[in-house]
Structure 1
């Protein structure tokens, strides 16, 4: 059999740098208003980057050039081309132009790759990748890299989407997971697609789901990407579960950073078991001293008072009580509505007093 037509990389082609434009070689629809764009270097150079890094594309939109940053969704283990997966939001300009106008054969300028939201490329670790929406793209790159590396892959992949049709990269992920038993996929959707069956999880991610999906989450390095409120909620859940946050990594798909100095500060509440607090039960005329790590329910029981309770995990809503004053830190799992929260109610089982708190018990 002749091998004359077999394609091989030019050994002298070198590594692509952003002095050279990118040439679009493919456009693959992924979900509504979402597509994966493939690029090659016109010179034949190969691409070198770390899984999870990003590019900044120079896009010639009507009215003037704009620059938009996108995570590379392909893996550096496949260096002949690279891809970015983009989703147009309401009001998008650059991404909308790409979806409507960027086609194979067209060339655009790019800078990068850059970014510190990356995997250690040689270590063998256990991972939990958590993402929402188009924040899935760095997880796609990281998972593909681990799959291609072929040794010691142990990944729990958790992606949240509005509907099943909005899940990005699902076929690619299922293909890899079908060949690697140590790669587990979990998708959570908020609502169904009409006339289609969904047998997976529904609702919003919560602590119980994390425990069910990855019971050994305390042993895993967590990489999270998505909208800022989503990542803040994930951090809150993990802190409440006692996770070692030194092993937590995150990247906003709206504002990826190039250096550690650019990392935004977070205002996460970390409860202190030495911080003094108190709960006053107004109807019972009882005040009990405690610490921030005590729940209102535990304080009530310790004071000989009875608050009806069930799950003790913020699910059933049985322990809902009215907070009259003070501040609590509450991480619930769906057992209370936002309307009730706005009206001043809390779940005693998962509310920790910050300073002096009064409840109507």
Structure 2
């Protein structure tokens, strides 16, 4: 790691917080292999500063891949209790343009722009005496941030961390979680695998998440604040089985959206409105024009006409659909996915912008 990024500033120590509003450049200062297809990337601010976020939140990166800027959101895996660095842990996805680029290209010294942190999926917003963290695959990352923070703070909260992986070789952060269990009387790690790995048979809990497994491994789950993150099918199964166990769902929390899944959702049907009018939206680069009802977002109208525009959260959070408005006016209700200086420069988020006039957009 490059120590000058971590400890040095004019006053002899880092005192200010990093903010994407002021200087959104991060520098990769290290990488680490977690499993055969999962890698951690460690970043520090270009200008010395501390990171400030809630465990479980995500950050949006602007990656320059080839001649294009590609936006992607990644959950922060590191803990705010160690604020000098920030890390993301990425699984290589076959054919995935960003995950493969990161695994093959991102290395110490490279710079990248980022925005955040954002998101409401965090134990910090739901304090409790007992927690149950349920994760599947790479959904472990927000849980790891929460577990690391609780461990560093010597929390008195009772935490059970159940993680589901395909094989023992696919258990991300296994050694660290096992050490956390050894050194904390309030922390229990329960890994579950579906199958054996090559040269590694599995002797622990086996199979997919089920009501029987949960009742056996965590008999007091009804008393816990539950956080769930993983593939959509995993989260649906976890929610269904908790409901089956008559769990009080007011204490259930799941990652509210999956960026990769939302980006592939079928295009919506443009709403037919009784009143309010419609406007023409011209996309300058592609020379496509669509009609956008006044009460529809630009993204919904474009997708309804078959246009494939970059988008992820569809909630004004991630910034993936950020575009330049060349002419016209919109009403934009975002949730932090765009900086004020970008708005001042004419940028909008298509997913949460409704037209107030005819528009020309640089896409």
List structure 1 segments (4+ residues) > 3 angstroms apart after TM superposition. 6-13, 121-124, 256-262
Query: How many angstroms apart in 1 are the aligned matches of 2:158 and 2:33?
Result: 29
The change in CA–CA distance for 1:253 and 1:159 in structure 2 (over 3 A counts) is farther
CA distance in 2, matches of 1:257, 1:217: 30
Aligned residue in 2 for 1:87: 91
Provide the alpha-carbon RMSD of the alignment.
2.3
Question: Which residue does the alignment assign to 2:306?
Answer: none
* 1:177 has 2:181 as partner: yes
Partner of 1:286: none
Superposition deviation, residue 246 in structure 1:
0.6
Query: Which residue of structure 1 aligns with residue 17 of structure 2?
Result: 15
Which residue number in structure 2 is paired with residue 284 of structure 1? none
Aligned to 2:62: 58
* Deviation (angstroms), 1:121: 6.3
Q: State how 1:280-295 maps to structure 2 within 5 Å.
A: none
Assess, with a 3 A threshold, how the Cα gap between structure 1 residues 100 and 106 changes in structure 2: closer, same or farther. same
**Kept after mapping to 1: 8 A contact 2:257/2:313:** no
Specify the SS of the correspondent of 1:49: coil
Task: Show the counterpart of 2:168.
Answer: 164
Residues 1:193 and 2:200 are matched in the alignment: no
Shift of residue 64, structure 1, vs aligned partner: 1.3
TM-score where L is the length of structure 1: 0.67
The residue number in structure 2 matching 1:244 is: 248
Q: Does residue 26 in structure 1 map to residue 34 in structure 2?
A: no
- The Cα shift of 1:257 comes to 6.0
Kindly state the Cα deviation for residue 123 of structure 1 after the two structures are TM-superposed: 3.4
- Tell me if the contact between 2:78 and 2:86 (Cα under 8 Å) persists in the aligned partners: yes
CA contact (8 A) 1:159 1:188 kept: yes
> What SS does the aligned partner of 2:139 have?
helix
Larger Rg: 1
Deviations 1:82-120 (A, max 9, x none): 100011222211111110000011110001110010112
Count of matched residue pairs: 257
Deviations 1:130-185 (A, max 9, x none): 01000000000000111111131311000101111111111111121110021111
What secondary structure sits across from 1:141 in the alignment?
A: helix
Residue aligning to 1:147: 151
Q: 1:226 to 1:107 in 2, by over 3 A?
A: same
Is the CA contact (8 Å cut-off) linking 2:258 and 2:313 kept in structure 1?
no
Note if contact 2:135-2:163 (Cα within 8 Å) is conserved in structure 1: yes
| Aligned-residue offset at 1:201 | 1.2
Match of 1:106 in 2: 110
| d(CA) in 2 for partners of 1:170, 1:258 | 33
Q: For residue 123 of structure 2, give the secondary structure of its aligned residue in structure 1.
A: coil
Give the TM-score of the pair, scaled to structure 2.
Answer: 0.67
1 CA distance for matches of 2:178 and 2:157? 15
- Show structure 1 runs of 5+ residues with no match: 1-5, 263-361
| Aligned partner (choices 197, 215, 220) of residue 219 of structure 2 | 215
1:172 alignment partner, SS class:
helix
- For residue 42 of structure 1, report the CA deviation from its aligned partner: 1.9
**Range 60-69 or range 101-110, more displaced:** 60-69
Residue in 2 that maps onto 1:43: 47
For the 8 Å contact 2:76–2:142, the answer to whether it is kept is yes
Q: Distance in 2 between matches of 1:253 and 1:36?
A: 22
SS of residue paired to 1:120: helix
Say if 1:209 and 1:84 are closer, same or farther in 2 by CA, change over 3 A: same
Question: Matches of 2:181 and 2:8 in 1, distance apart?
Answer: 28
Alpha-carbon spacing, 1:235–1:121, altered in 2? closer, same or farther (3 Å): closer
Q: Is the 8 A contact 1:55 1:111 kept in 2?
A: yes
